[in-house]
Structure 1
Amino acid sequence: MKSNFRRIAWVTDPHFDHAKLDVWQAWNEKLLELDPDAVLITGDLSEGDDVAYQLRCLAESLDRPILFVLGNHDFYGKSIATTRRDLIALSRDVPQLTYLTDHQSVSLNRTTVLIGDDGWGDATVGDYAGSNVRLNDFQLIEDFRTSSPEHWQSMLIAEGKSAADRIAQKLRDLPATITQVLIATHVPPFREACWYEGKTTDDNWAPFFVCGQLGEVLQTAAAESPDRRHTVLCGHTHHDGIAKLRDNLVVHTGASVYGSLEIESVISIEETLIELSRPSLRFP
């Protein structure tokens, strides 16, 4: 894979299974017109086997690196382990695809890398016990569907810990020469980055919309490496916003509308700067 990425198109929560063919074609044509060096997708591509189908279509139509993490919808109809195993195999079979959860890091230029992980709403932020939220995940992801509800909280915590541990290791492995790291994930790692209609989440929704353990890892990394800038890209909430946690830790949350396809931003990458252009482009 090339190691000098100057422009990356960022897409989040496209839910391709909800988009009509003409919408997909217009969106795809705009991506080709923008001609980015790569496309980055932060989860919720589709559901079940359609995830792999959509990734193959993108790899063929765009003919450039497709860098991605998975969202909760991408696991629907299967187990978490089976979904990841299948998409790891697909990424090794299709050279344009890079599943970031299974990848150490992607060099963007001499000073900048991209890392990523799916993340998970990990029940560590907000009031899980008092929440009345019950996501479709619990019925449509095999791990939860076949488990007793009394085990769901511990399962969510375990998924969040696994994501946090993987990102922590990737950050530890970065050489001192890296001064910028772009971090792609699906679930916002902080309550402050979990946006809905211009406001951040409450205790009722936070357990399922914040990966708190990943947030702790990012806070620690930013504190321990004050000269390294950490820029996080995420989605999941379908509403956009920017949260500045530290001078060197900023989270961009992307928006989405079912049935539409968006190009959330074109990210310009220089050796001393990562810049996101807005507003987003939406089709139709």
Structure 2
Amino acid sequence: MPRNRADPPHRVSLRRHDPSQPIDESPENDSSYRLAWITDPHFDHAKLDTWRRWADSLHEHRPSAIVLTGDLSEGDDVAYQLRCLAETFEIPIYFVLGNHDFYGKSIAQTRRDLIDLTREVDNLFYLTDTGIVIPRDGFAIVGEDGWGDATQGDYAGSVVSLNDFALIEDFVNAAPHDWQAMLQREGNEAAARLTQKLSRLADDVKHVLIATHVPPYREACWYEGKTTNDDWAPFFVCGAIGDALTEIAKSNPSRHFTVLCGHTHHDGDAEILPNLHVHTGYSRYGTIDIESIIRITEQGFQVPRSTGAKKATET
């Protein structure tokens, strides 16, 4: 929600959750489970009327939970937006962070602040910090921020310069020749955290939904109907997560992995392996969209991408 800086903070009930324990959110009627997927909303760019129309539209779908795949806003406004969402939608809200969410702070401080927030607010779950969510027997949801980790494309020869390097404290306070190693470290740490979560899945889990911000593969990094080139790939693909997912999917051929991501602001679908599919979401500054209303069926997580499921709200 666009913020009136004079507004007092929202008051919410308090509950602590243990990130090491699976969260069982199974509804009484499994067939009614709807997961609303939102990516790159950039709430700070939307007018109040746009936010309200989007919220009304989302309420009409009666989702059981919401999953946000990053770039909610910037700086302290990220926490404000999450509080607004938690108060507006009294359902579980699962989120990961995108690069914009770290603007104005360090990576570590941003994560600490939002982990603290999730310990205070009942229905907020930061998936990078949270363990495994069980929406129904045999199904699981996990998540990880991810990062454009400079492992794909031509980092040394790229002419791309992101605002990240001027607006995230870690990069501002480091020499440019250290940035590539820092990006690779973020990617490796993200892959390690995700691998640990996936290694703890129970044997009966046959369908896994993975929420992340940065596409894990070049094949899933879309722009105007085409996949990325060598200039953009270093900053728009998290190769370490892609490598980890490929290995895990190959080792578990009877388990299906569905990945949701954003970051590119252009949508597309990619089949990496028969049991590994990646859906990349659409976004445009000033609008807030419902990327998909995901349903759980016997076939797994169904991620429709029709125009009926996506209701863009213009400024």
TM over 0.5: yes
Q: 1:183 aligns with which of 181, 197, 210?
A: 210
1:2 to partner: Cα distance: 2.2
Tell me the distance in 2 between the aligned counterparts of 1:193 and 1:67. Answer: 22
User: Residue 153 of structure 2 contacts residue 230 of structure 2 at CA under 8 Å; is this kept in 1?
Assistant: yes
Q: 1:3 aligns with which of 26, 32, 44?
A: 26
Tell me the distance in 1 between the aligned counterparts of 2:299 and 2:234. Answer: 36
Partner of 1:37: 64
Q: Which is worse superposed, 225-234 or 4-13?
A: 4-13
CA RMSD of aligned residues (A): 0.9
Report whether the alignment pairs 1:140 with 2:167: yes
Q: How many residues align?
A: 284
Report whether the alignment pairs 1:98 with 2:121: no
Report whether the alignment pairs 1:249 with 2:272: no
Tell me the distance in 2 between the aligned counterparts of 1:273 and 1:55. Answer: 28
Task: Output the amino acid matched with 2:175.
Answer: S
Partner of 1:196: 223
Tell me the distance in 1 between the aligned counterparts of 2:311 and 2:214. Answer: 22
Q: Which runs of 4+ in 1 moved over 4 A?
A: none
Q: 1:170 aligns with which of 173, 183, 197?
A: 197
Tell me the distance in 2 between the aligned counterparts of 1:176 and 1:281. Answer: 37
1:237-277 C-alpha deviation (Å, 9 max, x unpaired): 00000000011000000000000000000000134421112
User: Residue 163 of structure 1 contacts residue 214 of structure 1 at CA under 8 Å; is this kept in 2?
Assistant: yes
More strand by share: 1
Tell me the distance in 2 between the aligned counterparts of 1:247 and 1:84. Answer: 34
Task: Output the amino acid matched with 1:281.
Answer: K
Partner of 1:282: 312
Trace 1:99-138 onto structure 2 (pairs within 5 A): 99-138=126-165
Tell me the distance in 2 between the aligned counterparts of 1:88 and 1:281. Answer: 31
Listed as ranges, the gaps of 5+ residues in structure 2 are: 1-23
Tell me the distance in 2 between the aligned counterparts of 1:139 and 1:84. Answer: 19
Report whether the alignment pairs 1:236 with 2:259: no
User: Residue 3 of structure 1 contacts residue 106 of structure 1 at CA under 8 Å; is this kept in 2?
Assistant: no
User: Residue 25 of structure 2 contacts residue 133 of structure 2 at CA under 8 Å; is this kept in 1?
Assistant: no
Structure-2-length-normalised TM-score: 0.89
Higher alpha-carbon Rg: 2
Tell me the distance in 2 between the aligned counterparts of 1:82 and 1:263. Answer: 29
Tell me the distance in 2 between the aligned counterparts of 1:18 and 1:70. Answer: 17
Task: Output the amino acid matched with 1:283.
Answer: T
Partner of 1:267: 294
